[in-house]
Structure 1
């Protein structure tokens, strides 16, 4: 365990604000601790000498030394109490009290002061505005929740206290246990990253799960969780996926909602298994904490009912798993062992009159097939099938085999005792075949996460000072954007651009065009005109003789479209042959939680319509850059579909890495679009650029 080990294994806990008043939070916390906690409980209340049969102290300084202080006092005095705690040897504090950043400006100021005091005294603070913390190894329920959790190997954090109470009520009924439980509250000091780090270092936490409404520091979360997820599964259900949900999350806990796209990319890069519902969260947690990780994706289904067998097969098809292709010898053995009416291909239907012995024989045969990495046993109740025996058989073979066996014993009351047998062996039972397959898919997904290799971002030889000087040109103009006049920014970071210049005179335009081979492309240059093509602000295939008239026409169109637009001139650029190239997009959007998001996709004029993109959080290495290129639907175009010559994908991958380095080096870059990046057989060239900057940080 790490720094927070004492938070979950204190010997002495103080309840600051304890009381015996019926229905109060201070009494509920005190009662919860006095009921099961292995250590000493110290009530603190200046108006009592004794509470619930326990000696009470007027303040923290007069109380015995404590390892953990739980604070439940009115909001205006929380910071004073925290300072008093800071003067003692106590390092860990849980602030239950609400009335902080979730309530408005005054609460936000109070929370900033709390954070300052915690930093001054180096206090680990959970909350404020939280339910509390629980730890089953020491019997500690330092919360005002009504339920004590059962013991288990899953550690659970939640940004919603109400979610914790609801989950514990359900979990106790389902006999699902926990190791540690934390209500995060406003996360003024300790956040989700701290607990992922702590539980990842805990050998007795088999799975980390959480309900989150936001992630405060996406970069730190990715760095820590990537390392933890190599050994310990991290499963998160994240609310606020929609705009309305994100707004609700913000008003609930004071969270600043990042974009859903950022969370999708960030959680995937962190190695998180993202559940879509509470049911899925716990289905996966139970599978990951109790079943063996399969070596491959081949699944065998053994069932006594055709309909559920088909449903299971469909569910496998909806995941990254696959129905195992049995070896001929397996089919032959099944045919010998099963009735003539049975189906001996996958899914194996042992038919409705099967007893446990027939189920067992079929399961033994399929598990001996080298193409079978896991099995799902699906049964519906019949008069000849004893579920107790079937559950015991699954437990026995789970102990003997390397492959996971996922039971789906369908039914009601008759599954109660068999589920207890399975649960005691750490094996979950699922009523719905789709949920059984989903749990198995979580195992396979974790296998891939734990085996993946994350390469370090390459540091390219770039001209950083030249790039800085180009970006600083924004200070000399109105607004915060640079356009094609800053194309040399890309060149400074090794991303190829065509030859050309931005000019503000038709004579200069003619001179530049005559210095370039062949026909040229001309574009209006204005930070106020985003979509130049829409107003006829781009001319392609302009000959030397046409340059002067083209210049005048472009300026005229821009003035007519937006008379007050800032015109910086016209770009005269070498024309790139787009017939042999694919127009792609390189982009960046800086997210408030995760930082720079890299975007790659099909480019050109249809990018906003097709929205064929992949996203990663920068910085990235070659592997992730190559994954980005391969993920878009238009990837076959780059690989040379329909007789096209393949694009230089290595050049595209390198450009993504170089852009990643650029936006990492310059946090002032808020948005950046290279559209199009022409990807052809001989390399890439960036043809257009828009950069939006935070001028205050440049």
Structure 2
């Protein structure tokens, strides 16, 4: 896509559409997030309609890419000019700020009543020569990366003459240009002349702006840094042993008892131990806490949301660890009598108040394979749904973009007096989880939640994963 732009319209964007796609063409029924991620990473421009598909293709084939995002609007009608301005605001473009010399030139060239600022309104009595002069001035401004010419029919000019002017000046300045001709069938000859010059024409100004925005999108694709995913130094044999041991005992769901899987891939975890019995809990709490409070969590592959049933105790003094062990096990058995209880994890207490709880996860898409998720974590992760996805393997620039994608990104940069988190540490965890996903197809799903990010790094406090024993 760096050499040849690719534009795709894909059905199945909505839940109903995806259901219809699945019933007719199974291969098209991949997850919407997976397609979005794949298109983004591959530099594919996605559109929603067939009309947009042809609009994008037309301007990408005929116009150069803009050097800046600034758009100049030249029009003989105030209302359509404002409509075009609104469309620029809705797009990823911006209204060009004219240089002082440009404003002076407009003031000298245009009559009283004309607007010399952007959008430039040359008013309704403008002959074609005024269009030429205004467009020439706008194109000469260094802040202008693209232009939209908006023309409504009047008795003072012919659309065919305007087409010649626009084609001539676009060729001279080589600045991407889109034209809105609001004259119905009277614009046919002008549209054909502009099409010969590779300049698209539209009736709706919003379509003209959206097409220019396609050029901006593709410029970003062309300019994007291409980096191969990093290969981290990991202990694959240790990870393979953990997965195979679980598969051999018939387990498909694993929790905090498999935290060493993360450690094998260099992801920081707090010191912890899974214990059975109150005495063992008390001993582990004393040793791991070293006199300080600890965290205790029920360990059961059948209980997915431990916090919801009171299966997590934070800030447990070592002297109370035995009683807490009994309480956690009792709650778990009351909640689900047939649940398999593997024990209780005693974990070193980390101060999460100074950090941001995030989530990094893996899911396997039938079309694209392993997907890596990053977002705001904690117990409300499924309520807030503030997350973004990439197809593994994830390169460092893509991982950094993931941090920017979520709505909670400002929390990572410091909010309400907090220190900004170590974003490099988060990027590395995303990369290591991505490598884990590609190395072990047996991992069907994985959640590291919460992954607490602080100014000093990122630490995984909990884990949940599903494996396919046949692929272990």
Counterpart for residue 547 of structure 1: 321
Contact 2:250 2:469 in 1 (8 A): no
| Contact 2:374 2:403 survives alignment (8 Å) | yes
1:562 aligned to which of 336, 339, 342: 336
Residue of 263, 266, 269 corresponding to 1:494: 266
1:260 matched to 2:260? The reply is: no
Instruction: Identify the residue that residue 226 of structure 2 maps to in structure 1.
Output: 454
Tell me the residue number matched to 1:628.
Answer: 402
Alignment partner, residue 393 of structure 2: 619
Aligned equivalents of 1:425, 1:337: Cα separation in 2: 27
Deviation at 1:320, TM superposition (A): 1.1
Paired with 1:529 and 1:577, the residues of 2 have a C-alpha distance of 25
Match of 1:248 in 2: 20
Deviation at 1:475, TM superposition (A): 2.0
Corresponding residue number in structure 2 for 1:680: 454
CA distance, structure 2, for counterparts of residue 431 and residue 249 of structure 1 = 33
Q: Aligned partners of 1:388 and 1:252: how far apart in 2?
A: 48
Partner of 1:670: 444
Q: Does 1:414 align with 2:193?
A: no
Partner of 1:302: 74
Shift of 1:385: 2.0
Instruction: State the Cα distance separating 1:256 from its structure 2 match.
Output: 4.9
Post-superposition offset of 1:668: 1.2
1:511 to 269, 283, 287: 283
Work out which of the residue numbers 438, 457, 464 in structure 1 matches 2:236.
464
1:191-230 paired onto structure 2 within 5 Å: 229-230=1-2
SS in 2 for 1:588: strand
Partner of 1:429: 201
2:470 aligned counterpart, secondary structure:
coil
CA apart distance, 1:603? 0.5
Q: Are the counterparts in 1 of residues 72 and 148 from structure 2 also a CA contact under 8 Å?
A: yes
Hey, what's the Cα distance between the residues in 1 that align with 2:210 and 2:184?
A: 21
- The count of corresponding residues between Structure 1 and Structure 2 is 470
Specify which of 264, 270, 282 is matched with residue 54 of structure 2: 282
Q: Give the distance between the partners of 1:615 and 1:470, measured in 2 at CA.
A: 26
Q: Secondary structure at the match of 1:231?
A: coil
Superposed displacement of residue 476, structure 1: 4.0
**Cα offsets for 1:340-383 (capped at 9, x unmatched):** 10000000000111111111111100111110111100011111
Give the equivalent residue in structure 1 for 2:372: 598
- 2:304 & 2:28 partners in 1: Cα distance? 28
Work out which of the residue numbers 392, 415, 439 in structure 1 matches 2:164.
392
**Higher gyration radius (CA):** 1
* SS, match of residue 346 in structure 2: strand
Deviation at 1:478, TM superposition (A): 4.6
Counterparts of 2:182 and 2:397, CA distance in 1: 43
Q: Verify: 1:646 aligned to 2:420, yes or no.
A: yes
SS in 1 for 2:432: helix
Deviations 1:195-223 (A, max 9, x none): xxxxxxxxxxxxxxxxxxxxxxxxxxxxx
In structure 1, how many angstroms separate the alpha carbons of the residues matched to 2:171 and 2:139?
A: 13
Contact 2:359–2:447, Cα closer than 8 Å, also in 1: yes
Confirm or deny that 1:694 pairs with 2:471: no
Aligned-residue offset at 1:579: 1.4
**Structure 1 573/254 Cα, relative in aligned 2: closer, same or farther at 3 Å?**
closer
CA distance in 2, matches of 1:345, 1:435: 23
- CA–CA separation in structure 2 for the residues paired with 1:256 and 1:530: 31
CA distance in 2, matches of 1:626, 1:302: 39
Displacement of 1:252 in angstroms is: 2.9
Matched, 1:657 2:435: no
1:479 deviates by 4.3
1:314-350 deviation digits (Å, cap 9, x = unpaired): 1111111100011111111101100110000000000
Gaps of 5+ in 1: 1-228
Q: What is the distance in 1 between the residues matched to 2:280 and 2:131?
A: 85
Contact 2:248 2:469 (C-alpha < 8 Å) held by counterparts: no
Q: TM-score, normalised by structure 1?
A: 0.66
Q: Which runs of 5+ in 2 are unaligned?
A: none
* 1:586 and 2:360 correspond: yes
Deviations 1:547-605 (A, max 9, x none): 11110000000000000011111000000001111100011111011111111111101
Alignment-derived partner of residue 129 in structure 2: 357
Spell out, residue by residue over 1:57-97, the C-alpha distance to the aligned partner (whole angstroms, 9 max, x if none). Answer: xxxxxxxxxxxxxxxxxxxxxxxxxxxxxxxxxxxxxxxxx
Residue 571 of structure 1, aligned match among 345, 367, 391: 345
